[in-house]
Structure 1
Amino acid sequence: MSLSLLLFPALGFLLLLLSKKLTPPSLGCLISFYQNRHRLLTWYTELLSESENQTIVVHRLGAPRTIITANPDNVEYMLKSNFSNFPKGKPFTELLGDFLGLGIFNVDGHLWSLQRKLASHEFSTNSLRDFTVQVLADEVSGRLIPILENAAETNSVLDMQEVLRRFAFDTICQVSLGMDPSCLDMSRPVLPLSAAFDSASEISAMRGAAPVFAVWKLKRALNLGPEKDLKDAVKVVRGSVDEIILRKKEMMEDESGGDLLSRFLGAGMESEMVRDMVISFLMAGRDTTSAALTWLFWLLTNHRDIEQRAAEEIKIGSDLGYNDLKEMNFIKACLCETMRLYPPVVWDSKHAANDDVLPDGTPVFRGNRVTYFPYGMGRMEALWGKDRLEFRPDRWLDETGAVRMVSPYKFPVFQAGPRVCLGKEMAFIQMKYVVASVLRRFELVPVRDERPVYVPQLTAYMAGGFSVRVRRRGNVV
């Protein structure tokens, strides 16, 4: 899945105006914001629903004018029709630049085009797909299933969110780097790379949430507080990946591997650019799939009839090869419906290179931030109907049971247009494999009854984790 920065609005610094009612800033706007500060996602969704064109304009002191939209026509215009006028832009790339460097998810123009062309070729190969399925098979059978078996045997409580995060990091490291961090092996200490990655991701997210960007920039210049910690964490991440690259080059003198790092080095790319590229892929694939899976498993515990249908789709004796996974339409529908309601990335921003006008008539000025809002889009009655808040996977299936085609500009969780997520198919393979492997053997029972809280950061997560007990499924399929 592709990386998107969550430029979360800063508390106390917003003046929010409906796009059709552009009036001067007023005290009433600040009061309304303060009253809704604990439910901003819901509040934005309500405002977008009430807006005639599903677009609102945000004014933040010391920051560019920001347009937030849930209008598919606007999304298509940004991501496809006038793609060249809506790059990520310097305000975005500065936030993640220290961490991701010149990797594909943090650059525009020629550097992006060069990396995209190479990565697109590699992601389209059957050999990478087969390599990914083999990694999944080994990780699931060797680590994930034994952990769940042990939890079922001992009646112990598992934080399924943490288990899935560790699983995802193991998997993406093997696919991207050709190395196994063994995060799911609880008997081994956490690798410095894993701990540093956690730290760098968290602090980078904090930059986006800073009330005034000048504050984190000053701390970075003085090497203070979180910015010092970020610098130290990035040093560990880059140093670890540089060491892996050196070892990989030595190994490739005898044979090449199936991982992305081997493929990029084999294409003759410079080591520094390769390093930044694979760090970007680690970031993109690390928490997005685990977030989607966490929310899906929680939703299934509240819809046991849907869970049973998903379990029945898994063929008896299936080895979960690519063709078996491809045929799991209902499980894919469950995943799409989950990401509609709980997208791994809440919103994504671009910055206008020149003055423009969106299809709904909203004016855009050079330097404006233009943000599309998947979380709100999934809750628009105009897009999904009156049952938009219900978990109903059948909305994704046609009368034959095949997955229904839905515009990526209506459901932009994988972006769309020239920057559409290269790892989309890989993400579905991984998620289907995990869902099928778990549902054919186990039922998860939440320890807490209360509804979990959805927390938006670089990747959204479930506050407090997802604590469950594991039971063996009555009729194993």
Structure 2
Amino acid sequence: MCAGAVLYWKYKDDPIGAIKVDKNVKRTSFHLPIIGSLLAMVQDIDNSIDLLSQELNSPHFERALVLAVPFSEPRIMIHDPQSIEYITNTNFENYVKGTFTNSRMQDVLGNGIFNSDGHQWYTQRKLTAKIMTNRNFKLYIDTVFTDNISILLLVLKDLAQNVPVDMHDIFQRYFMDSFGKIAYGVFTFSF
């Protein structure tokens, strides 16, 4: 009984094996000692996004909310504009993506600016800032969308055979493929 009480006391705010987070930051309403939010997330795994959304939109939500599970980095969720500005701009250096995010996003983002921290991020940001001025970005977007509109027109001409066409799907593909060219340098108008 004494060992259980010690475990309970030691891990009431942060689950076993998790990085400690300031006790003043609220935990999810379904947070339990020792296991954190694990039980609720596993029980309602298909609706976990809805569960978290309800927490963030709760009238009791203040500025931040901690979601923690054992042996994992905690997730601190915010949706307050002042906090977002503070984290993404004012005090960015103190908020890292961490190994959890880096390892899971490696295949998609590599070691680019969106998946790096510290000196590596700072170096990439400085390089990107010189290249991606508002003027250059607008010119590039104009070029990509203008070049790709000719492909879109050819696709529409081929489809114009007195048959129903899902224009929403076509325009969505056009936009996503154009965005792919802007963001990743790859354009594949796929049908």
Q: Smaller-chain TM-score range?
A: 0.5 to 0.7
8 Å Cα contact 1:56/1:69 also seen in 2? yes
Residues 73-472 of structure 1 aligned to structure 2 (within 5 Å): 73-98=82-107, 100-124=109-133, 126-140=135-149, 142-148=150-156, 150-151=158-159, 153-158=161-166, 160-161=168-169, 164-165=172-173, 167-170=175-178, 172-173=180-181, 177=185, 181=187, 183-184=188-189, 186=191
Percent of paired sites with the same residue: 23
Aligned letter for 2:181? C
Kindly state the Cα deviation for residue 74 of structure 1 after the two structures are TM-superposed. 2.8
Kindly state the Cα deviation for residue 26 of structure 1 after the two structures are TM-superposed. 7.5
RCO (CA 8 Å, sep 6+): is it higher in 1 or 2?
Answer: 1
8 Å Cα contact 1:77/1:83 also seen in 2? yes
Structure 2: distance between partners of 1:150 and 1:27: 56
Q: Aligned pair 1:64/2:73, yes or no?
A: yes
Q: Could you say which structure has the higher strand fraction?
A: 1
1:221-261 per-residue CA deviation (whole Å, 9 max, x = no partner) reads: xxxxxxxxxxxxxxxxxxxxxxxxxxxxxxxxxxxxxxxxx
Q: 1:52 to 1:176 in 2, by over 3 A?
A: closer
8 Å Cα contact 2:66/2:74 also seen in 1? yes
8 Å Cα contact 1:163/1:184 also seen in 2? no
Task: Figure out how many residues of one structure are paired with residues of the other and give that number.
Answer: 165
Question: Of 48, 57, 70, which aligns to 1:40?
Answer: 48
Any stretches of 5+ residues in structure 1 without a counterpart?
A: 1-17, 187-477
Q: 1:159 to 1:59 in 2, by over 3 A?
A: farther
Q: 1:149 to 1:36 in 2, by over 3 A?
A: farther
Kindly state the Cα deviation for residue 73 of structure 1 after the two structures are TM-superposed. 3.3
8 Å Cα contact 2:159/2:165 also seen in 1? yes
Question: Of 21, 27, 48, which aligns to 1:19?
Answer: 27
Kindly state the Cα deviation for residue 64 of structure 1 after the two structures are TM-superposed. 1.9
Any stretches of 5+ residues in structure 2 without a counterpart?
A: 1-25
Aligned letter for 2:114? F
Kindly state the Cα deviation for residue 92 of structure 1 after the two structures are TM-superposed. 2.0
Instruction: Give SS of 2:68's match.
Output: strand
TM-score, length basis structure 1? 0.29
Instruction: Give SS of 1:75's match.
Output: helix
1:150-193 per-residue CA deviation (whole Å, 9 max, x = no partner) reads: 5454333438447634653356437864xx75x2265xxxxxxx
Question: Of 49, 57, 65, which aligns to 1:49?
Answer: 57
Aligned letter for 2:47? R
Kindly state the Cα deviation for residue 115 of structure 1 after the two structures are TM-superposed. 1.9
Kindly state the Cα deviation for residue 99 of structure 1 after the two structures are TM-superposed. 5.2
Kindly state the Cα deviation for residue 75 of structure 1 after the two structures are TM-superposed. 2.2
Q: 1:157 to 1:90 in 2, by over 3 A?
A: same
Q: 1:159 to 1:95 in 2, by over 3 A?
A: farther
8 Å Cα contact 1:166/1:184 also seen in 2? yes
Instruction: Give SS of 2:166's match.
Output: strand
TM-score, length basis structure 2? 0.63
Kindly state the Cα deviation for residue 86 of structure 1 after the two structures are TM-superposed. 0.4
Instruction: Give SS of 1:87's match.
Output: coil
- Which residue pairs with 2:18 in the alignment? none
Q: 1:106 to 1:171 in 2, by over 3 A?
A: closer
Q: 1:159 to 1:60 in 2, by over 3 A?
A: farther
Q: 1:79 to 1:147 in 2, by over 3 A?
A: same
CA RMSD of aligned residues (A): 3.8
Aligned letter for 2:162? T
Aligned letter for 2:153? I
8 Å Cα contact 2:145/2:178 also seen in 1? no
Q: Could you say which structure has the higher helix fraction?
A: 2
Between structure 1 and structure 2, the one with the greater Rg is 2
